[in-house]
A and B are shown apart, each in its own frame.
Chain A
Amino acid sequence: MTAPVSISLDVNGERVDALVLPRLNLADFLREQLQLTGTHVGCEHGVCGACTVRVNGEIVRSCLMLAVQAHGTAVETIEGLSDSGEVADLQAAFRDRNALQCGFCTPGMLMAAQDLLKQEARPDRDRIREHLSGNYCRCTGYQAIIDAVETTARVRGGRRV
């Protein structure tokens, strides 16, 4: 009964059919079976945010979702957002502002930041902090990350930086 279950889902716009054990979480499925290693795994209990991906357009913790639960959904990882150019400006702002050092937290940070910028055109620094509050970064001290997100929001809003 703990036998593999067959699932099919859409990952970054491509249909994927797979056989997975119930205990396999979505993060490990993406990394190990699909070789999409941009999604990082830190704490595996929902605290650090490194594993954040989009499922049906909403950000979720992929370490707290079973791969079987992703059956029938559309999953987008950092590879998808990166390849489509959706976050190109945000990535550039992260580079320019030194908003990443080791880069471990960066995929999750970009996912969460893009989620906010899709919902709100003009978030202030407090809103940005609040929205990213579930994502840990060991390196940057956060200020540079907030700077990068704020800059991107301004540029997207057609305002001068």
Chain B
Amino acid sequence: MKAAAFAYARATSVVNALDLLEAHGGRAKVLSGGQSLMPAMNLRLISPEFVVDIGEIAELRGIAVTGDSVRIGALTRHVELQSSPVIAAHTPLLTEAIAHVAHPAIRNRGTIGGSLAHADPASELPACMVALNATIIIRGKAGERRVEAKDFFTGIYETVLSPQELLVAVELPTGRRKSAHFFHEFARRHGDYAIAGLAAQAVVEGDLFADLRLAFFAVGDRPVLAKVATKLTNMAITPADLSAALSVLSQELDPQSDQQASASMRRHLARVLLARCVGTLLGRPDLGAGGSA
């Protein structure tokens, strides 16, 4: 199928884009990489009257380290994240995760801003932002606002963004010593959306977690920052502690059933992911084995 007719403008700056969005009320859509918007328009799931192409706005590009954070512009493409030495050095979780986002031709055009604004609960980058405790930077006509990633996603394809706002950048805190990460997802085929996945960022001191952020994806209507992490921090974890945590996780999650997997299969996969994550990050294969059941 083809997209329905629409009018088109190529925005020249963030201010220009915000003016265009305001002028067209809720009838306009932002076009970034087009890798989610165009399929939706081609399938006629949506038919905006007006499309504001932000693809040429230079101020939305670039990856830069400022103080103790990395700022990633909204238009940064997946392929740029994947090959960035700055990202690999400061937030290796992202480097690892991005290889699981779609396929090469799609990674050449898809952007981080588009992926986060699209807010597919099965996608990798939203969960990474939650695990990394990112700040999402949003611009509207009234100015800039900053939202913690865990509060940015509000439901399936839903965020705190209004139709008149632009996501301009994300900021990721860097430089915690002894930090470690874990990323794994179950998908039918490499590059497909996950059936269940986990992006985790931790601080490991000796044989303990001093900090642990577990962001599960594809097991709820948005990335889930699992509260069960508190039951695993600052303690020497025994196999019994881990199995208790796995049961708590099961109760905490509320996954959907669809053609790909039932809710109980997703719960099971989430438990497997948590056990593997803990076993891997602490170098305790005895714990990880608990997840193979």
Complex interface: stretch among A11-19, A62-70, A77-85, A89-97: A62-70
**Would A60 and B109 count as touching, CB distance under 8 A?**
yes
User: 1/0 per position for A1-34, CB-CB distance to B under 8 A?
Assistant: 1110100000000000000011101001000000
Q: Among B8, B104, B105, point to the contact of A68 (Cβ < 8 A).
A: B8
Whether a CB of chain A sits under 8 angstroms from the CB of B236 is no
Residues of B within 8 A of A22 (CB): 5-8, 51
Given contacts A60-B108, A64-B109, A65-B34, contact A25 B3 (CB under 8 A): yes
Residues of A within 8 A of B231 (CB): none
Residues of B within 8 A of A135 (CB): 103
Task: Tell me, rounded to whole Å, the shortest Cβ–Cβ distance linking B17 to chain A.
Answer: 15
Q: Among A2, A59, A129, point to the contact of B104 (Cβ < 8 A).
A: A59
Chain B contact-residue range equals 20 to 34
**Would B109 and A2 count as touching, CB distance under 8 A?**
no
**Would A133 and B103 count as touching, CB distance under 8 A?**
yes
Q: How far, in angstroms, from A23 to B34 measured CA to CA in the complex?
A: 13
Residues of B within 8 A of A21 (CB): 5
Residues of B within 8 A of A25 (CB): 2-3, 38, 42
State the main secondary structure of chain B at its contact with A: loop
Residues of B within 8 A of A23 (CB): 2-6
Task: Tell me, rounded to whole Å, the shortest Cβ–Cβ distance linking A88 to chain B.
Answer: 22
Given contacts A69-B55, A134-B191, contact A49 B103 (CB under 8 A): yes
Q: How far, in angstroms, from A53 to B218 measured CA to CA in the complex?
A: 31
Q: Among A1, A44, A112, A130, point to the contact of B105 (Cβ < 8 A).
A: A112
Task: Tell me, rounded to whole Å, the shortest Cβ–Cβ distance linking B88 to chain A.
Answer: 17
Q: How far, in angstroms, from A147 to B34 measured CA to CA in the complex?
A: 33
User: 1/0 per position for B108-132, CB-CB distance to A under 8 A?
Assistant: 1100000000000000000000000
Q: How far, in angstroms, from A54 to B190 measured CA to CA in the complex?
A: 22
Residues of A within 8 A of B179 (CB): none
Nearest B residue to A57 by beta-carbon distance? B108
Residues of A within 8 A of B103 (CB): 49, 133-135
**Would B8 and A5 count as touching, CB distance under 8 A?**
yes
**Would B5 and A2 count as touching, CB distance under 8 A?**
yes
Whether a CB of chain A sits under 8 angstroms from the CB of B102 is yes
Nearest B residue to A64 by beta-carbon distance? B38
**Which of B31, B34, B103, B106 is most buried by chain A, counting CB atoms within 10 A of its CB?**
B103
Residues of B within 8 A of A125 (CB): none
Task: Tell me, rounded to whole Å, the shortest Cβ–Cβ distance linking A103 to chain B.
Answer: 19
Q: How far, in angstroms, from A52 to B7 measured CA to CA in the complex?
A: 26
User: 1/0 per position for B183-211, CB-CB distance to A under 8 A?
Assistant: 00000011100000000000000000000
**Would A52 and B105 count as touching, CB distance under 8 A?**
yes
Given contacts A22-B8, A23-B2, A25-B2, contact A65 B109 (CB under 8 A): yes
Among B160-194, those with CB < 8 Å from A are 189-191
Residues of B within 8 A of A2 (CB): 5-7
**Which of A61, A133, A135 is most buried by chain B, counting CB atoms within 10 A of its CB?**
A61
Whether a CB of chain A sits under 8 angstroms from the CB of B43 is yes
**Would A63 and B105 count as touching, CB distance under 8 A?**
no
**Would A66 and B34 count as touching, CB distance under 8 A?**
yes
Whether a CB of chain A sits under 8 angstroms from the CB of B240 is no
Residues of A within 8 A of B189 (CB): 133
Nearest B residue to A44 by beta-carbon distance? B42
Q: How far, in angstroms, from A28 to B2 measured CA to CA in the complex?
A: 10
**Would A134 and B104 count as touching, CB distance under 8 A?**
yes
Task: Tell me, rounded to whole Å, the shortest Cβ–Cβ distance linking A44 to chain B.
Answer: 5
Whether a CB of chain B sits under 8 angstroms from the CB of A58 is yes
Q: How far, in angstroms, from A63 to B53 measured CA to CA in the complex?
A: 16
Residues of B within 8 A of A156 (CB): none
Whether a CB of chain A sits under 8 angstroms from the CB of B1 is yes
Report the 7 A-B pairs with minimum CB-CB distance, sorted nearest first.
A134-B103, A22-B8, A1-B7, A45-B39, A64-B38, A59-B105, A58-B108
New contact pairs (13) apart from A5-B8, A116-B104, A135-B103, CB-CB < 8 Å: A1-B7, A3-B7, A22-B5, A22-B51, A23-B2, A44-B1, A60-B108, A61-B35, A66-B53, A112-B104, A134-B103, A134-B105, A134-B191
